[in-house]
Chain A
Amino acid sequence: MRCSLVTELAPVTCAGCGILCDDVTVQRAGDGVRLQPPCSLGEEWFCERVRWAANAPAAMIHGQPANIEAALTRAAELLRGARRPLLHGFDGATVEDTRAAVALADRLGALVVTGGVRGAWPGAPAVPLRGASTATLGEIRDRSRLVVIWREDPATTHPRLLDRLGFGARAGRRHGQRTLAVVDDRDTATARRADLQLSWARERDLEALSALHVLQRGLALPASELEAELGGLLERIHAVPHAAFVHGPGLGDGAGGQRRVLALHELVRALCLDRHVVTLALPTAAGITGARDVLTWQTGYAQNIDLASGHPELVTATGPLATSEGVDVSLCIEGAVSELPDGVTKIALCSRPVGGVEVSIRTAAAGVEAAGTLHRLDGVPLTLQATLPGDAPKAAALLSRLLAEIGS
């Protein structure tokens, strides 16, 4: 990976994924960077942002370079005239960015979406229905003697997760023998590191989770070829005082996803009656956990809200949001603009280069050009450091400017 970082930085916080490793030494290595501890995703993340900082224009209108003031004015015009504005993205947004975004959305009466705006709706969120048992990374590392990774491949998507959970160099530091189990029918990097792999098709996850719950309650299971595998997993859980389940989009995405997540939480709840069992959710991007926390404290709702009525309302659409809600103007904050249909007029405040938008302003990437706060995947808030001098504005500052322009 080629980039032009000129200094050695240590230790800094990497926002390449939701783990937010804050023990990272960044060293120049030829035209690229090397991270210690090693992480290819983190190296790519740093290099990309350094490259964007060097190459991307400060602002664009209609695909033509523009100055930031003109771009802000145009963005404000579009938002002021919007019939159904949408704010979305937040993949790399800081807490400060999201606070400013929700303030703007409040003024606009906009939709705010912290998840995907395209694709099948996974159903009503699971946590408000029954709750959840969760823990920070250190709790899982130091107590859970069995960790079950459910249809995720963190060795690829969150490369240091297994190490951070104690399955690397520091394995067994305090609690002796530990088991890494993977539920997945794919041959993944994580599965190859596992002590145990349970393999069935994704379509059977709800059945498997429900069956585990039935077995946990001491009831007989209808004849099923999964019985042996499930019984074995349950035995392993019963053999330890602490266990953890790691899950993510592999379980929760797509139609019926939240039913599957609910089944997992119900199972964990039942297991908690005589032991300590927790879950850890893998977010799709580093900024999402903090964005949802901000949305919750400012509005009361965690994921998708509509402020059009003058107050926050939970969006419970069953189809892709952008189309079902008739969005005409979108403002993407540190996310992927490409998720939206062509008919939507798009504005982007992003550190990454974006195409196909009416207005874009390049922002300072948190953790490279700007400091900021993110919430780790387990909720722990961490500060990202500015590691590269730059003059791009933070998204939060631009959002506050837009709020001032629209409010005046």
Chain B
Amino acid sequence: MNFFSEEFFKEPFSLSKNDKENYIVTSSNALSKHHYNKCPEYRRIIESLFDDKVDADDLPSIPFIPVQIFKNFDLLSIKKDQISRTMTSSGTSGQAVSRIFLDKKTAFNQSKILNKIVCDFIGSERLPFYVIDAESVISDRKSFSARGAGILGFSRFGKGREFILDDDMEISIKRLEEICLANKNKKILFFGFTFMIWQHLLLPLQKLNKKFSFKNAVVIHGGGWKKLNDLEVSNNHFKKVFKEFLGINNVYNYYGMVEQTGSIFFECEFGNIHTSNFSEVIIRDPISFEELPHGESGLIQLISLLPESYPGHSILSEDMGAIVGEDDCKCGRNGKYFEIYGRVKNAEIRGCSDTYQNT
């Protein structure tokens, strides 16, 4: 038995406001209860911070845990011998990484739902698949980085798989020309991480002023805008460069995190990022954590109905965003759609306990 309903499976963007709220609250309550009984750490948090109450009456009262906590503790709602795969977030070296533990069932559901969502945007036909990354990213099969997990997850939408960067993350123009020639006007799929694509494909092409025409190709990318925001590269500019240098119009960005693989949030043709039947977002005031009305910017709380093996079904992210609308996107998909403004800034706090090391 799953915590999401199979009946909403065929059409992953079918649920509208009232039905969805009911369904998300009920399903999420069941998940909260499951983790409360199976994961002692999760239970402690609910006891201390949420008055020991897992049964939410409405969306905003669904309890949440900070995304950071997966870096501090190994949180499991299964026995250790049931772990089939461990995923880690891609932290910069020296930083703690999140560790997410999957059993067979959760891993299966993740790929099933990912499939449903992605096919809704690019169709169900398997496409020649080109990864804008180096093969070394997936060399370790037991433990996956977010990058590796993403590549493997999306590989199922492809026929075959080719990594188009070498191990030094260099693009071969010659190979790109061959691919272009071999797939003349055919629908092919490029996949990669936003920053990697910019750094190792789009920047070199701009520098060399080398242009291609992949007219019917589709690009799917994710991983966040933190580094590109620092470089002042916007989503629009990113798309523009893709069009100008590779001739690609269909560039889809998705928002997701290793803590909630599968039920990702996809950007539609109209630039809106959509929740599906398997996910929900709640925007909270970044200080009081009170729910904010549509249009107001706050912290994004992410709900996914997939995490069973670890208590990650309701997470308070460190990203700021706002809900743009609900059930009325021109693309025809139901559910809330939202915008993301990026990670909250780190505050420097005062204090007398660091003199020497960090100066």
Do A and B originate from a single complex? Answer: no
